[in-house]
């Protein structure tokens, strides 16, 4: 095991997959000469050349569409959005082309491509650059979506996404790029995490906190605070939001009988709403309390630092929700 940053893990995944398969190429704004806005593609231009690490114009719709066409003829493009907020400009290509082509071609045309980049709020980037974009992609059948929370997950999930025969969105936590963690050494073998497989990041027996992406670390913080009050919280990291590991969700519900769903985005029609509905349909008799959700406030993200903190989910709010489902608040 080596201790590396989240961005280094993503870089390793890209380099290994480009080395393994010469049909893989990276395209996006500033990915080549500048080594990427978040330095995820550092050194790849020198290693693979400008035909496989391609700087694009500032035109998300254009280069996403180029990626769709490349995937249709047998290449495996990795399309980097500087932030998934900018990908809204490309949603016609993502939703109307990439997501639908396999179905509309009656299975004759696969689109093995990846859309990747940061999502969610950072620090005072205001409303238009602070959106958690998961639900925009989840709603359309045909696009898979993963949200790695750790360097190991970032590497393993990105490698799996690149090898998948369908479009996959890899949404990275904007504040996670400097996060360090243990990642298996390349010399120890091919490290790939299958899509659709959740992981229990902390075992517990009193209440389940179900979450993904950057919110995993907030959930772990909340679980640590709950432990001081004698409450043993389990943290389930979904890792993949589509496909969703329903078996893992049902297992943790059956174990603790009480659930708090934590997500970075807005509450209305959010990821947590889908999970709560799944639990109600599949595990209603296992619940000893209603499922509660902790989300961003239902407002555009404020710019002012104090208001931004009020709008974001917090460990304190997770603690309060856990105590509420345990009837100890």
Distant-in-sequence, close-in-space partners of 121: CB < 8 Å, separation ≥ 6? 130, 131, 132, 174, 264, 296, 301, 308, 312
How many Å apart are CA 239 and CA 168, to the nearest integer? 13
Peptide bond preceding 259: is omega within 30 degrees of 0, i.e. cis? no
Catalytic residue among 30, 110, 129, 227: 129
* Chain position carrying tokens 């719709």: 61
165 is catalytic: no
End-to-end Cα separation, the chain, in angstroms: 42
Q: b/e map of 59-79 (b: 16 or more CB within 10 Å)?
A: ebeebbbbbbebbbeebbbbb
139 is catalytic: no
Catalytic residue among 16, 60, 263, 308: 60
How many Å apart are CA 134 and CA 319, to the nearest integer? 24
What are the catalytic residues? 60, 129
């Amino acid at each position: 095991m080596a201790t590396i940053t989240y961005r280094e893990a993503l870089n390793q995944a890209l380099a290994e997959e480009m080395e393994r398969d010469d049909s893989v190429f990276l395209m996006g704004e500033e990915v080549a000469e500048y080594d990427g806005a978040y330095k995820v593609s550092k050194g790849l231009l020198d290693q693979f050349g400008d035909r496989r690490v391609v700087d694009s114009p500032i035109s998300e719709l254009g280069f996403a569409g180029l990626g769709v066409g490349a995937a249709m003829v047998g290449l495996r493009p990795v399309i980097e959005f500087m932030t998934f907020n900018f990908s809204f400009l490309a949603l016609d290509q993502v939703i109307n082309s990439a997501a639908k082509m396999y179905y509309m071609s009656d299975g004759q045309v696969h689109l093995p491509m990846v859309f990747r980049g940061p999502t969610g709020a950072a620090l005072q980037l205001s409303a238009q650059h602070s959106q958690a974009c998961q639900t925009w992609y989840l709603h359309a059948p045909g696009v898979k979506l993963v949200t790695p929370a750790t360097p190991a997950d970032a590497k393993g999930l990105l490698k799996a996404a690149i090898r998948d025969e369908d479009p996959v969105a890899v949404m990275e936590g904007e504040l996670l790029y400097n996060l360090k963690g243990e990642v298996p050494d390349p010399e120890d073998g091919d490290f790939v995490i299958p899509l659709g497989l959740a992981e229990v990041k902390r075992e517990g027996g009193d209440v389940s906190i179900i979450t993904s992406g950057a919110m995993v670390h907030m959930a772990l913080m909340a679980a640590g605070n709950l432990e001081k009050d004698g409450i043993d919280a389990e943290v389930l990291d979904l890792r993949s939001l589509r496909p969703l590991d329903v078996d893992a969700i049902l297992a943790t519900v059956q174990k603790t009988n009480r659930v708090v769903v934590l997500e970075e985005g807005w509450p209305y029609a959010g990821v947590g709403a889908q999970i709560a509905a799944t639990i109600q349909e599949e595990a209603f008799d296992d619940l000893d309390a209603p499922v509660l959700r902790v989300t961003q406030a239902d407002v555009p993200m404020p710019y002012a630092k104090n208001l931004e903190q009020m709008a974001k989910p917090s460990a304190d709010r997770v603690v309060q929700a856990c105590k509420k489902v345990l009837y100890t608040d």
